[in-house]
Amino acid sequence: MLNSTQGRELLEDLNIKVDLVRTVPYAAREETRIVAFKWESVIGEDGQSVVLTEEQQRERYRAYVERNIGAVLNEKQLCVIGVEKGQDVLSVQVRGRDIELSGRTDLLILSDIVKNNPFDVQYLPEVKLLIEVKRAVKPSSDFQALSELIALDLLVDDPVMALLTDLNEEWLFFWVAEKENASARICKARIRTPGEAFEVIKTLLTQSPTADAEIRLPCFQESVKRQKLSKLLPPIGEGGESGGVRESIERYYDIASMLGPDLDMARAVARQVTRSIPTLSYFS
């Protein structure tokens, strides 16, 4: 799992900025009255109430999500799958960046063909949305959702979205947007009620997966145009840590061949090489 420092470093390394998007109340408010998910508790040996972990309640909240978008799932031949611990389906090497992401998310909405063989989840067929569930959403939780979105986007052909939620009052949607001022952009929108959030999800699942297509989502002030991160990152060889390391090493040997070894410069190059070693970012 990424902490805040690792998350900021990942965004900086990939030159990604996060933009906040305004939302408004859903016009058809009467249609959005859905009861929030209730986290279960048990009574411990000391007589105190203990809330079960997200892991212990995965099947309950998977069924909760499925129940509230069931009609659209059936229409589009999709399903909601819980990703078991140890299924690192979001593992990917960021090409040209010496960065490796490894881990999973909690729920995936994807083709219902995986019901025939659960192991096929690893191929992420027609995946639309990943859902990271937290009993308590903290500011640092954003970085876990962002890293999962980055990994999923790099693994599949079509644009996707990520949702970070407590299934109560925090429903945070993330997606890759258009490049601006030489930086890739990920947008974040906040929805406050389960009913409105499920309207967003249902509408999303019916939209074209094509990149560049503008889609209208409930509660969003502006239309959404999702992009592919692979098209926004600089091509291999244009910048990136690996190219800079190679140039530094070559420059050091050129100078050393003429002037002799330079201990301070050698240490600086060594530090740069160390920073370029692939970083495993676990966000499961």
What does each of the 284 residues of the chain score in pLDDT, given as a tens digit?
A: 678 888 999 999 999 999 999 999 887 666 668 999 999 988 888 888 888 888 999 999 999 999 999 999 999 999 999 998 888 999 999 887 788 999 999 999 999 999 999 999 999 999 999 999 999 999 999 999 999 999 999 999 999 999 999 999 999 999 999 988 889 999 999 999 999 999 999 999 999 887 678 999 999 999 999 999 988 887 654 444 444 555 665 664 665 666 666 676 667 656 655 555 545 444 54
Nearest one of 171, 141, 176, 179 to 160, comparing CA atoms: 176
SS3 100: strand
| Distance set, CA 164 to CA 125, 167, 168 (Å) | 21, 9, 11
> Can you give the pTM of this predicted structure?
0.82
Contact 121, 135 (CB under 8 A): no
Distances (CA, A) of 263 to 134, 245, 254: 49, 17, 14
Query: CA nearest 172: which of 137, 215, 135?
Result: 137
- Domain locations in the chain as residue ranges: 4-233, 241-279
| Burial zone of 74 (CB within 10 Å; 0-12 exposed, 13-18 middle, 19+ buried) | exposed
